Amino acid sequence: MTRNQRALATAFDRLEDFCAVQRAEHGAITSQGVDLLQEAVGIDDSMRRVPVERLPKLGTEAASGSVLLGMLLASLADES
């Protein structure tokens, strides 16, 4: 397994841990929890606005939530 593969696997592990804790504590993943997770890896309001503003200009059908998930995973992987 390459370093990048290990980092991505670790990122998914951390995301799965977050989801498990959220579900155990709240029964579902809360928007406040997601905001705190994003802030913990350095994704702030200005960064969250970028996909919302830029995706329509690209003419892509990708949802901004999918892009934010990618940003989150990249940030978590980078920390590994």
24-67 pLDDT, tens digit each:
999 999 999 988 998 988 889 898 888 888 888 887 677 778 88
- pTM across the whole model: 0.79
Q: Among the residues of the chain, which ranges form H helices?
A: 3-26, 31-40, 45-58, 64-79
| CA–CA separation, 10 and 58 (whole Å) | 31
**Assigned token pair, 21:** 């804790």
For the chain, what is the domain count?
1
47 is in which domain, residue-wise?
A: 3-79
What confidence score (pLDDT) does residue 57 get?
A: 84
